[in-house]
Amino acid sequence: MTHPDSTEQNSASSAKPDLQRDLSLNTLKTSEQQLREEIEELRRETQALAEKDEELKQDIEKIHEKIATTDE
């Protein structure tokens, strides 16, 4: 026959892995959300840099055109 205390211990010890799993899942979800936010921020930065790059290329092209017309 099983001792009543041992059943309680089994329930408590089986709840522990569930709690650990829930905490791990919560940690993973939090990490995933943080990574998604960082990825979005990096996308915005990449877009801003691409726009700045395009502006600089246009400015360089204008300078080359001025130099070319000045040399003529």
- What is the phi/psi pair of residue 2, to 5°? -85, 140
Read off the pLDDT of each residue in 26-37 and give the average, rounded to a whole number.
Answer: 97
Give the total residue count for the chain.
72
State the first-to-last Cα distance of the chain, in angstroms, to the nearest integer: 106
Question: What is the structure's pLDDT at 40?
Answer: 98
Domain count, the chain: 1
Q: What pLDDT, in 10s, does the model give residues 36-62?
A: 999 999 999 999 999 999 999 999 999
CA quadruple 4, 5, 11, 15: dihedral, nearest 10: 160
pTM for the complete prediction?
Answer: 0.60
* Residue numbers of the domain that contains 12: 1-72
